[in-house]
Structure 1
Amino acid sequence: MMHKVMIVDDSAMMRVVISNFVSSLPEFRVVASAENGKVALELLPKFPDLNLILLDIEMPGMNGLEFLRHAKMRTRAKVIILSSVASAGSKQAAEARSLGADAIITKPSGAVSMDLADKRGAELARVMSRVLAA
């Protein structure tokens, strides 16, 4: 089965890095990307069969937590937070979980992590599969 993924990150470079990584996994396909939560919410109705959203937290316009507040009523897609500010035990991580995030992965090198695939790729792939199997 091909899983459809949306990437939401304000960094164009990170959207490319994440998209390239996800596209390297045979069972996943990136179908949409957005630079903030507002754009992502507007895209949701176009992708009713979306399986997974990879979501940053710190974004202008509408951040990831605000997006989560609205998205859980509009999509059944699973949400993985992929952020430099949501480390385990942080206030943002706790809030993301309470708003329905299915998993949280910390970007390895800050907001723009060019080394995502090298340092967190295996973990991200495992978590994506685990979240969708749940």
Structure 2
Amino acid sequence: MDEELFAAFLEEWNAACARLAGGEEAARATLRGLAEAVGLPPVEDDMSAEALAALPRTLGAPATHGVLVVDDSPTMRRLIREIIAAEPALSLLGEAEDGEAALAAMAALRPALTFLDIEMPRLDGLGVLRRWALTGPGEVLVVSSAAQPGSEVALTALRLGAAGVVAKPSGAISLDMAERRGHALLAAARQVLGVADAD
């Protein structure tokens, strides 16, 4: 299969799976159309978002570690998506904009790694960690301006089970994050997942 076409398909597929996990049942129609277009098995009404997220593996896609991005800032989610796209070992499974949506997406998509902000509405990142620590899947890497390394918030996140903490640049949003922190974020993700550095 054409790698560029597959990447475009996979991005749209993962976005639809994340919408389905968030309760948007209409996303199932998008998944049905994509599955038919690329020759995947039919999408049935009783298939979970988790099962659907795993279907593209039947096309022989390279093994990747699925990632969930949790941040209330659309700009920050976009920047982290761009950073993830630069790492062949990672693939975006979905996004969440608050802690409650994060827990639902974690349960449905079962990511290998979740990038988690701390300061969010409805349920903050520490609240997510407290609930995730009981039954949550995968690893969590905190990416937050509120959790500078060595701070009380960072230490609490680590005590609650976070695999690591990467600080955002100064301020909640920095448009140069991809350059200034992208390397640190990917290095931390590789270490957490046991993935060798890309050459």
TM-score normalized with structure 2 length: 0.64
Tell me the amino acid that sits aligned with residue 160 of structure 2: L
* Greater length-normalized contact order (CA 8 Å, ≥ 6 residues apart): 1
Of residues 91, 108, 111 in structure 2, which corresponds to 1:46? 108
Structure 1 unpaired stretches of 5+: none
The percent identity for this pair of structures is 38
Within a 5 Å distance, the mapping from 1:53-68 to structure 2 comes to: 53-68=114-129
Q: Which has the higher strand share?
A: 1
Aligned equivalents of 2:183, 2:106: Cα separation in 1: 27
Tell me the amino acid that sits aligned with residue 113 of structure 2: L
Of residues 175, 190, 195 in structure 2, which corresponds to 1:129? 190
Q: Which has the higher helix share?
A: 2
Shift of 1:85: 1.1
User: Match of 1:69?
Assistant: 130
User: Match of 1:116?
Assistant: 177
User: Match of 2:79?
Assistant: 17
Q: CA RMSD in A?
A: 1.3
User: Match of 1:36?
Assistant: 98
2:160 is equivalent to residue 99 of structure 1: yes
Matched residue SS, 1:32: strand
Shift of 1:56: 0.4
How many residues in Structure 1 have an aligned counterpart in Structure 2? 133
Tell me the amino acid that sits aligned with residue 126 of structure 2: L
Q: Deviations over 1:104-128 (max 9, x none)?
A: 0000132112211100111111110
- Between structure 1 and structure 2, the one with the greater Rg is 2
Matched residue SS, 1:86: coil
- Of stretches 2-11 and 75-84 in structure 1, the one that deviates more from structure 2 is 75-84
Matched residue SS, 1:80: strand
Tell me the amino acid that sits aligned with residue 108 of structure 2: K
Tell me the amino acid that sits aligned with residue 130 of structure 2: R
Shift of 1:67: 0.3
Aligned equivalents of 1:56, 1:90: Cα separation in 2: 15
Shift of 1:89: 1.6
Aligned equivalents of 2:147, 2:76: Cα separation in 1: 16
Aligned equivalents of 2:150, 2:107: Cα separation in 1: 33
Aligned equivalents of 2:167, 2:83: Cα separation in 1: 15
Aligned equivalents of 1:114, 1:74: Cα separation in 2: 35
Of residues 38, 63, 69 in structure 2, which corresponds to 1:7? 69
Aligned equivalents of 1:24, 1:68: Cα separation in 2: 27
Shift of 1:75: 2.3
